[in-house]
Amino acid sequence: MQGLAEKDVPPAVANKMWASFEATGDYSFNKSHAACYAMISYRTAWLKANYPVEYMAALVSSVMSTKDKVPFYVNQCHEMGIEVLPPDVNTSLVEFTVVEGKIRFGMNAVKGVGVGAIEAIVAARDGGGRFESIFDFCARVDSQMANKRVLEALVRSGAFDSTGDPRRGMLEVLPLAMSDGERKRKDKAQGQGDLFGDTAADVDAGHPRPTVPQTEWDQTTLLRYEKEALGLYVSAHPLQGLREQLHDEIEVPVARLVDAGDGAMTWTGGIVANAQKRVSKNGGVWLSFRLEDIDGGIECRAWPKVYEQFRELLVEDAIIKIKGRIERRAEGDVTLGAIEVVPFNGVSEYHPLTVVIDSACVAPTVMDDLRRVLTDFPGTVPVVLQMVSGEQRAKLRVGDGLRVDPVAGLYAELKALLGESCIGVG
């Protein structure tokens, strides 16, 4: 202060400068502080460079409580060439783990599955080996630790896929499996057999375990349930194969909208999820929904006038492009107010949907199955089949009677039938 006075700095200015210095001192990056940050940065960079799979598994585990960040980091794994596997009751632990150079989902990432249930599952697995079926699981894991709601979430997430049975079939027999398992655990605890001294195992040998129906949901339903359980698609994604084309037709990807300024207007795009109709104070109907792509998502609002104009496009699982205004709230939440909505088809009436069929990778009955899939999604877009056999390629235009509506469900069904790389354009 004395030096400032000697330089003829007014006292009011000097006092204000000193107050600013004191406030800054509460959080200054002095040398020791900066050195710590530098060391942490170096160590994490070294781990990512030398142990990328282990590093990313730990990173995703650290954000499991922040569900919006899990899809972002899982996609980062994909971009790094690291495969992320769905949860599995036969291999998963609480957190994400490394299995043979791949990352296995932690069961704690499944919505509604707590640490207590997971510990009971792991203990039963360690003590008696892998679970062979949903019936075997229910006989060995206490239903008080893993109740019906937990099992439903695990089945829908794909955690029982390693048993070899379809998810839909397992849910259909779940009540029977739980009651059968409860009886077996009670008999085992009491050492009870039948009246002739047979053991519980001997009694069971005379009563074959019911089989799981070999029926499965269509790909769209299966993926929807998987996403409800995990918060993201794991086994497949409706936008996979369309990401680059979508990005070419918008200004800012969904995952980067959090960096946009309040009031900014932009075009973005993705798939509609969690759509809920609401009624305003004036009685107008508006829509709250989440717009998602492979990297993340953002909460959106279509107020009454906009919703009335574009309601046919704003439906669950629709792939759309939106012009909207960024809205930032005081608590830090970012939402997008829809202004205009147009469909994103990836193809159009003038640009046919190209379906690639590799003769070396498909079953002989594929054409019948393909006709069924195309028939289930009637629309205006023509279809071209690109037949691949080694180095030879041939294109065949499908008749106008099999024009399709290129929605997310169609892409999911085609990929399930023909593989992830079956979608082409033009």
Residue-wise pLDDT tens digits, 126-183: 999 999 999 999 999 998 999 999 999 999 999 999 999 999 999 999 999 999 998 8
> What percentage of residues in the chain have a pLDDT greater than 90?
45
Q: Is 384 in contact with 370 (CB distance < 8 Å)?
A: no
Tokens 């899809």 correspond to: 71
The pLDDT tens digits of the residues spanning 371-421 come to 999 999 998 888 989 888 888 888 888 888 888 887 778 888 898 888 877
* Domains, in order of start, for the chain: 2-50 (no CATH), 52-219 (1.10.150), 243-343 (2.40.50.140), 353-425 (no CATH)
* pLDDT surpasses 80 at 426: no
Model confidence band, residue 192 (pLDDT cutoffs 50, 70, 90): low
Q: Count CB neighbours of 426 within 10 A.
A: 9
Eight-state DSSP code of residue 88: -
Identify which has the larger pLDDT, 236 or 96.
96
Separation in Å, CA 98 to CA 27, 54, 65, 189: 38, 6, 20, 36
Rounded Cα distance between 362 and 389, Å, is 11
pLDDT on residue 363 = 76
Helix (H, G, I), strand (E, B) or coil at 14: helix
Tokens 């990807």 correspond to: 253
Helix (H) or strand (E) holding 342: strand 334-343
Q: Is 143 in contact with 111 (CB distance < 8 Å)?
A: no
Alpha-carbon radius of gyration of the chain: 28
* pLDDT surpasses 70 at 53: yes
Q: Is 209 in contact with 138 (CB distance < 8 Å)?
A: no
Q: Is 251 in contact with 340 (CB distance < 8 Å)?
A: no
Residue 280's DSSP bridge partners are: none
* pLDDT surpasses 50 at 101: yes
Model confidence band, residue 195 (pLDDT cutoffs 50, 70, 90): very low
Q: What are the residue ranges of helices labelled H in 51-163?
A: 52-62, 69-79, 115-128, 134-140, 148-157
Burial zone of 163 (CB within 10 Å; 0-12 exposed, 13-18 middle, 19+ buried): buried
Q: Is 426 in contact with 351 (CB distance < 8 Å)?
A: yes
Q: Count CB neighbours of 56 within 10 A.
A: 22
Identify which has the larger pLDDT, 221 or 175.
175
- Which range scores top for mean pLDDT: 49-58, 233-242, 274-283? 49-58
* pLDDT surpasses 50 at 198: no
Helix (H, G, I), strand (E, B) or coil at 118: helix
Overall average pLDDT of the 260-268 stretch: 91
